[in-house]
Amino acid sequence: MAIFKPLSLDEMKAKTKVLRRHIVRMTTEAGSGHPSSSMSAVEMVTALFFGGFMQHDPAQPRWNNRDRFILSKGHAVPVLYAALAECGYFPVEELMTLRKLGSRLEGHPNMKRLDCIEASTGSLGQGLSVGVGHALACHMDGLSAHTYVMLGDGEMGEGQVWEALASAEKYKLANLTAIVDQNGYQQTGATKDVLKLTEFQPKIEAFGWHVQTINGNDIEQVIAALTIARSIKDRPTAIVSQTQKGFGILPILAPTGDLNYHGKPLSKELAEKALALLAD
């Protein structure tokens, strides 16, 4: 079992740029995908995989006591592939096969193709339920493993999420942390204009969870919140991670007049500009 040595704060900040560069390159090469939905979650994913919060081992992806990360907002999978490649689960060059015929890196996570993927997702609203199942099983087996599930704010419109919140509270799953990547947009526009589900902290607290709301693009706040989440021992925890869709390349997206930029890759020209912006 390999425990990754946590990176320093500066090293993590550098890693966020590496992940963002991977996201730009792979989605532009694929000619499709969701770079802006991936960008908002980069700080959280970086802290989890490289900040010492997740115990995992690329040599034994299905090791029993590994900490789990489930990406319920499966369309943001480029951020997960970028992190997994940087951890050594597969070669970094493979990122460029994203969405191509025969590639293991499908457009949405597929646990049958890559054994470092914990759940096949892409149908929104389902990941937290699967996380409840993982957390229940780990609890039954006396494992210390922690399960993290990342959801999108638009995804909170699915009723199943609230079913899952209620069931996790019933079984007092302190080994489960839900992360709502609240980037404020969903497919057709601003999340607040689609359903008024935006005030997540009181809603999730009402389900008996411990909830924190942070600026999720500030990696120091992310680290502090994950540390607190891990210290809560009597109930499940949630982090409402308020982020910006496309964070890191907003100066590139702004002139396009589309800050949502949902489900489309950057053109080669915009990608070049983005990579220059994200250079070390």
Partner 1 sequence: MTIGQAAGLKLGKAVRDAFGTALKELGNEFPTVVTVDGDVGNSTRTEVFAKAFPERGFNVGIAESNMVGVAAGLAAAGKIPVVSSFAAFLTCNAYDQIRMCVAYPHLNVKMVGSHAGISIGEDGASQMAIEDIALMSALPGVAVVVPADAPSTKHLVKGMLEHKGPVYMRCGRIDVPEIYGPDSVLTIGKANQLRDGKNLTIIANGLMVGIALDAAVALEAKGITARVLDLHTVSPIDQEAIVKAVKETGRLVVAEEHLPHGGVGSAVASVTAQLAPCPIEFVNIGNTYAESGDPEGLLKKYGLTAEAIVAAAEKVCSR
Interface ranges with partner 1 (CB under 8 A): 64, 110-112, 118-123, 125-138, 140-141, 159-160, 163-164, 166-167, 170-171
Contact (CB, 8 A) for 17 and 278? yes
Cα–Cα distance for residue pair 55/196, rounded to 1 Å: 36
* Residue 157 CB contacts under 8 Å (≥ 6 apart), including other chains: 125, 194, 195, 197
- Tokens of residue 78, six digits: 């480029």
Cα–Cα distance for residue pair 184/61, rounded to 1 Å: 33
Cα–Cα distance for residue pair 20/36, rounded to 1 Å: 10
Which alpha helices (DSSP H) does 123-180 contain, by range? Answer: 127-140, 159-170
Tell which residue, 54, 50, 38, has the closest CA to residue 1. 54
Contact (CB, 8 A) for 216 and 47? no
- Tokens of residue 275, six digits: 């990579």
- Tokens of residue 216, six digits: 């999720």
Helices 219-231 & 9-30, crossing angle to 10 degrees? 110
Count Cβ atoms below 10 Å from residue 275 Cβ, excluding itself. Answer: 18
